[in-house]
C-alpha cells in the first residue's frame, strides 16, 4: 500500500473491539474525493462486471470509476489470461473515448471486431493494437506501436466476476482477495447467474451508501418488521483488507446449530412455522433475493413433514436436505461446503474497497457503489441478485435504472434508502462529533476506514477518548 499513515489504528485494536471514532472528511470533502482518483482507485483491484456479460469473442463492457473508463473485452476462447483483455477507454490520437458510456457513468455493452474512434477513425483490434491510422505517413515515421496502442489494464477473474487493476505491477488478484477469496470460493459463485440487477444515482457519498449494507446492527430499528421473526444481533470480523459479518448470540448459552447464514431458523414456539415465516418475509421484502423459490417452497412444507417436537437443529437439517433434493431434481447441484468453512463464511462479506456480497449456497445478493463524477454528495448505487439455475434456464437480464422506491427495490431496500441520504446530510451538522461505530457489530466499517487511511494517508480512526497525534498528511 502507498501512503501508510503512521498514526492509524492497528488490527489489534480492531480485533480487541476497542472503541474508536473517525471524522467526516472521507464522506464530505471534495478534496478527499479528488484525492481518491490518485490514491485509491488506480491502486486496487475492483470488481468491474461478470463473465456472463461477455460470453462470445468480441463481447465487451465498460467500467467507469471516477475519471477513468475501462473497456473489458473477450479477445479469445475460455476464461484464462489469454482470453480477456482490458484497456483504458481512450483513443491514443486525441483522447476521445472509444465507447461512449451512458449518462451517469454506467456500463455500456456490445460486440465488436475492433474498436474505432468516431472522431478520426483510428482503429484498434481486440488485443489493443492499432490497425489503422488515416494518413499515417504524415507523421514521417514517428508513430510506433507503443505510442499508438491502447493502454492496457490488468484483468483477473474470480467467482465469475471480472476484476480490473490499473497498476502496471502489483499483487495478484488471488493475493488481494486473500482469505475472503479462499472462503467464498467454496460457494462456486462462478456457477451463478444474474436474476436481476438495478442501479440508481443516489444522493449520498459512495461510502455512506455502501456502509448501510455492511452490518445488520441497523435491522432492529430500520427493518423492525423483521424482528417479529428473528433476532438480529451480529458480529463483525476483519480479514485484512476485507471483513465478514454474521448473526451472533448475546449470551453463549443462546448458541444453536443454525449457523450464521441468512438461511436460518426463526424465533417462536414452533421452529417449523417460524423458520418458514422468516424465510418468506426476507425473500418477499428483499425484492425476491437472498434466498430462492426452492428454499421458500421447502420451508413451507416443514410443518407437514416434521413433528411438533422437532428441534431447531432438526428443522434446519431437514429444510436444507429437502431444498437440496428439490434443486437436484431440477438440475441444480449444490456445492459441497465443509461445515468449518460454512461457519467461517458468516452472513456477508465486504471486499475492499466497494463490493459487498451476501452469500448463500445457491444465491448471492450483491452491492457495489462508485463515485458520481466529482460530487462527494452523490454516488452510483448498484444491487443485484445471483442464483444457481439449471443449464440454460437463467433469465436474460440487463442493468436497469430504477428510482430508489419500494415499488422498484422492495420494502427492505427502500427502508435502507430512507436512511442513507439522511446519514449523509446529518454528518454535515456542526453538532456531529464524529462516528461512534459499534466495535463488535460494525467492525467491518471500522476496518474499511482503517484500510482507506492506509491508501489515502489521512482520515484514520482513533481510539475513542485519545487525542490524535499530529500528522503532516492532514
The mean pLDDT of 386-395, rounded to a whole number, is 98
User: What is the band of 7 on the pLDDT scale with cuts at 50, 70, 90?
Assistant: confident
Fold of the domain spanning 42-170: Rieske Iron-sulfur Protein (2.102.10)
The mean pLDDT of 258-271, rounded to a whole number, is 70
Asked if pLDDT for residue 2 goes beyond 50, the answer is no
pLDDT in tens, 13-34: 999 999 999 999 999 999 999 9
pLDDT in tens, 97-147: 999 998 776 899 999 999 999 999 999 999 999 999 999 999 999 999 999
CB hemisphere CA count around 97 (13 angstroms): 15
34's CB contacts (< 8 A; 6+ apart) are: 374
Per-domain residue ranges for the chain? 42-170
Asked if pLDDT for residue 253 goes beyond 70, the answer is no
For residues 78 and 340, the model is more confident at 340
Q: Are 410 and 287 in contact (CB under 8 A)?
A: yes
In this predicted structure, what is the pLDDT of residue 79? 73
pLDDT in tens, 298-341: 999 999 999 999 999 999 999 999 999 999 999 999 999 999 99
Nearest to 231 by CA among 260, 270, 272, 273: 260
What percent of the chain shows pLDDT beyond 70? 94
CB atoms within 10 A of CB 22: 23
Q: Are 374 and 34 in contact (CB under 8 A)?
A: yes
Q: At 291, give phi and psi (nearest 5°).
A: -170, -170
Asked if pLDDT for residue 277 goes beyond 70, the answer is yes
For residues 226 and 445, the model is more confident at 445
In this predicted structure, what is the pLDDT of residue 266? 73
Which cell numbers in the block locate residue 268? 417462536
In this predicted structure, what is the pLDDT of residue 226? 86
pLDDT in tens, 337-384: 999 999 999 999 999 999 999 999 999 999 999 999 999 999 999 999
Total residue length of the chain: 474
Q: 235 forms bridges with which residues in the sheet?
A: 246
The mean pLDDT of 186-198, rounded to a whole number, is 98
Asked if pLDDT for residue 291 goes beyond 90, the answer is yes
In this predicted structure, what is the pLDDT of residue 4? 56
SS (H, E, C) the chain: CCCCCCCCCCHHHHHCCCCEEECCHHHHCHHHHHHHHHHCHHHCCEEEEEHHHCCCCCEEEEEEECCEEEEEEECCCCCCCCCEEEEECCCCCCCCCCCCCCCCCCCCEEECCCEECCCCCCEECCCCCEEECCCHHHHCCCCCHHHHCCCECEEEEECCEEEEECCCCCCCHHHHHHHHHHHHHHHCHHHEEEEEEEEEEECCCHHHHHHCCCCHHHHHHHCHHHHHCCCCCEEEEEECCEEEEEECCCCHHHCCCCCCCCCCCCCCCCHHHHHHHHHHHHHHHCCCCCCCHHHHHHHHCHHHHCCCCCCHHHHHHHHHHHHHHHHHHCCCCCCCCCHHHHHHHCCEEEECCCEEEEECCCEEEEEEEEEECCEEEEEEEEEEEEEECCCCCCCCCCCEECCCCHHHHCHHHHHHHHHHHHHHHHCCCCCCCCECCCCCCCHHHHHHHHHHHHHHCCCCCEECCCCCCCCCCC
Nearest to 323 by CA among 369, 366, 284, 275: 275
255's CB contacts (< 8 A; 6+ apart) are: 249
pTM for this one?
Answer: 0.94
Asked if pLDDT for residue 176 goes beyond 70, the answer is yes
In this predicted structure, what is the pLDDT of residue 252? 55
State the chain's mean pLDDT as an integer: 93
In this predicted structure, what is the pLDDT of residue 55? 96
In this predicted structure, what is the pLDDT of residue 106? 86
Amino acid at each position: 500500500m502507498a501512503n501508510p499513515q503512521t498514526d492509524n489504528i492497528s488490527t489489534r485494536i480492531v480485533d480487541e473491539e476497542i472503541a474508536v471514532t473517525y471524522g467526516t472528511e472521507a464522506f464530505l470533502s471534495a478534496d478527499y474525493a479528488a484525492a481518491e482518483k490518485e490514491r485509491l482507485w488506480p491502486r486496487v483491484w475492483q470488481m468491474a462486471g461478470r463473465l456472463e456479460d461477455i460470453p462470445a469473442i468480441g463481447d465487451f463492457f465498460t467500467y467507469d470509476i471516477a475519471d477513468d473508463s475501462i473497456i473489458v473485452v473477450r479477445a479469445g476462447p475460455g476464461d484464462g489470461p489469454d482470453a480477456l483483455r482490458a484497456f483504458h477507454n481512450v483513443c491514443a490520437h486525441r483522447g476521445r473515448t472509444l465507447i461512449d458510456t451512458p449518462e451517469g457513468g454506467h456500463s455500456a455493452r456490445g460486440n465488436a471486431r475492433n474498436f474505432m474512434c468516431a472522431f478520426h477513425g483510428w482503429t484498434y483490434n481486440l488485443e489493443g493494437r492499432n490497425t489503422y491510422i488515416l494518413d499515417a505517413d504524415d507523421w514521417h515515421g514517428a508513430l510506433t506501436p507503443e505510442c499508438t496502442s491502447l493502454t492496457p489494464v490488468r484483468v483477473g477473474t474470480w467467482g465469475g466476476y471480472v476484476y480490473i487493476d490499473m497498476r502496471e505491477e502489483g499483487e495478484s488478484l488471488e493475493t488481494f482477495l486473500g482469505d475472503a477469496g479462499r472462503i467464498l470460493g467454496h460457494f462456486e459463485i462462478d456457477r451463478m447467474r444474474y436474476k436481476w440487477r438495478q442501479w440508481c444515482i443516489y444522493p449520498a457519498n459512495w461510502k455512506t451508501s455502501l456502509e448501510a449494507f455492511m452490518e445488520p446492527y441497523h435491522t432492529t430499528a430500520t427493518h423492525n418488521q423483521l424482528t417479529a421473526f428473528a433476532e438480529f444481533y451480529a458480529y463483525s470480523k476483519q480479514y485484512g483488507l476485507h471483513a465478514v459479518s454474521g448473526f451472533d448470540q448475546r449470551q453463549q448459552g443462546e448458541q444453536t446449530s443454525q449457523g450464521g447464514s441468512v438461511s436460518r431458523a426463526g424465533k417462536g414456539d414452533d421452529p417449523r412455522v417460524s423458520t418458514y415465516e422468516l424465510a418468506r418475509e426476507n425473500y418477499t421484502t428483499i425484492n425476491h433475493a437472498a434466498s430462492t423459490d426452492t428454499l421458500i417452497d421447502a420451508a413451507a412444507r416443514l410443518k407437514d413433514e416434521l413433528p411438533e417436537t422437532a428441534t431447531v437443529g432438526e428443522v434446519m437439517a431437514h429444510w436444507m436436505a429437502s431444498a437440496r433434493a428439490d434443486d437436484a431434481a431440477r438440475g441444480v447441484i449444490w456445492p459441497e461446503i465443509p461445515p468449518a468453512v460454512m461457519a467461517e463464511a458468516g452472513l456477508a462479506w465486504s471486499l475492499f474497497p466497494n463490493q459487498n456480497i451476501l452469500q448463500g449456497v445457491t444465491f448471492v445478493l450483491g452491492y457495489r457503489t462508485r463515485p458520481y463524477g466529482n460530487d462527494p454528495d452523490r454516488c452510483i448505487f448498484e444491487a443485484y441478485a445471483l442464483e444457481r439455475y439449471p443449464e440454460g434456464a437463467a433469465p436474460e437480464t440487463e442493468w436497469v435504472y430504477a428510482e430508489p422506491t419500494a415499488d422498484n427495490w422492495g420494502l427492505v431496500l427502500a427502508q435502507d434508502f430512507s436512511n442513507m441520504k439522511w446519514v449523509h446530510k446529518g454528518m454535515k451538522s456542526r453538532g456531529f462529533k464524529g462516528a461512534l461505530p459499534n466495535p463488535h457489530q460494525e467492525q467491518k466499517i471500522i476496518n474499511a476506514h482503517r484500510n482507506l487511511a492506509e491508501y489515502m494517508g489521512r482520515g484514520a480512526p482513533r481510539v475513542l477518548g485519545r487525542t490524535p497525534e499530529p500528522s503532516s498528511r492532514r
